[in-house]
Amino acid sequence: MSETRIRVGGAEPYDVVVGTGVLGELPELVGERVRTVAVVHAEGLPEIARPVCGVLEKAGYTVHPLPVPDGEAAKEAGVLAGLWSSFAALGMTRSDAVVGVGGGATTDLAGFAAASFLRGVRAVLVPTTLLGMVDAAVGGKTGINIPEGKNLVGAFHPPGGVLCDLATLVTMPREDYVSGLAEIIKAGFIADPRILELVEEDPAGAASPDGPHTRELVERAIQVKADVVASDLKESGLREILNYGHTLAHAIEKAEQYRFRHGHAVAVGMVYAAELSRLAGRLPADVVERHRAVLASVGLPVSYGADAWPELRATMTIDKKSRGATLRFVVLDGVAKPGRLEGPDEELLAAAYREVGR
């Protein structure tokens, strides 16, 4: 089957290429004007970085692989500064490019390095994880973490293109693959109910990269994100719906010092947001239970420590959706009917967490 091209519109449109064995499409995304390419890749992925570099070298680019730490350890100021120095040493100019290869943490870092070096050079992203393909690499949000919170420093910098080669998913550890499903399921709850139906029809298949609906699930989730970010790049309104479940999720990740998988945290966060929606009188109880059933069916968690609420509540105050001292949550008024809840009562927040805490 040939590749699928999903167009992400807006002021700086680009394509997300999806398929199996589509690495040969990469030079087209990098572009003809580019001469030097810095390939920023997770150091644990040399077997994927090598063919990326090979394809680019064959196309005539001067290629420099730059390994960075695996996972969230890459998203630190010191690693970012090291990339800036490497780019400068390579003599990179604004007509050159950065290619980010790896999971969401690597593409977040590579994108921010490209956004900030020389006030912006071209970035092309090659996500190698399910989470990276359906979420982190699409939409132009880049950033790093600081001790006070996740993704608090970054920039909006749309890539020149995104290449999702589904062949890379086969080598993923099962728990990491399942973690990425949380963002796909999120897309189902906020915009595309067919995603939920596909998971419910075959949970075991959904939890495997070899499943019969893997490509459709990936493409549907990317399409949801593409539709949203095309109309709201800088998260001034509609794009906030993509953060469904993320306010609590980011607090959990910080409490766990980023050792807790992002998708697992988002799964718990979605159940919390659903309970908050129900207690606010906006969402039927059966939809809340559908959250638990769908997420649990693929092996995602639906609860978190009962005694963790005070720490999590304090962390949620530092959230990108907050305005001043007012907490803002993405909630649901029904499946594919996202809304917002501003400044909820503290008892409502605590009551919703009691439904999640175990």
Of the candidates 96, 95, 98, which has an alpha carbon nearest to the alpha carbon of residue 106? 98
Of the candidates 221, 224, 222, which has an alpha carbon nearest to the alpha carbon of residue 239? 224
337 annotated ligand-binding residue: no
64 annotated ligand-binding residue: no
For every residue of 90-102, DSSP letters joined together read TT--TTSEEEEEE
326 annotated ligand-binding residue: no
> Which parts of the chain fold into alpha helices (H)?
26-30, 46-58, 77-89, 104-116, 130-131, 174-190, 193-201, 203-206, 214-231, 246-255, 262-279, 285-297, 309-316, 346-354
Structure tokens at 343: 């400044």
74 annotated ligand-binding residue: yes
For every residue of 40-51, DSSP letters joined together read EEETT-HHHHHH
Tokens 């970035």 belong to 123
58 annotated ligand-binding residue: no
201 annotated ligand-binding residue: no
183 annotated ligand-binding residue: yes
178: helix, strand or coil: helix
20 annotated ligand-binding residue: no
333 annotated ligand-binding residue: no
107 annotated ligand-binding residue: yes
226 annotated ligand-binding residue: no
- Residues acting as catalytic residues: 119, 141, 183, 225, 235, 239, 243, 246, 250, 262
1: helix, strand or coil: coil
Of the candidates 16, 95, 24, which has an alpha carbon nearest to the alpha carbon of residue 58? 24
150 annotated ligand-binding residue: yes
For every residue of 209-263, DSSP letters joined together read TTSTTHHHHHHHHHHHHHHHHHH-TT-SSGGGGGGTTHHHHHHHHHHTTT-S-HH
266 annotated ligand-binding residue: no
Residues comprising the binding site for NAD(+)?
70-75, 104-108, 128-129, 141, 150, 168-171
Residues comprising the binding site for Zn(2+)?
183, 246, 262
Residues comprising the binding site?
70-75, 104-108, 128-129, 141, 150, 168-171, 183, 246, 262
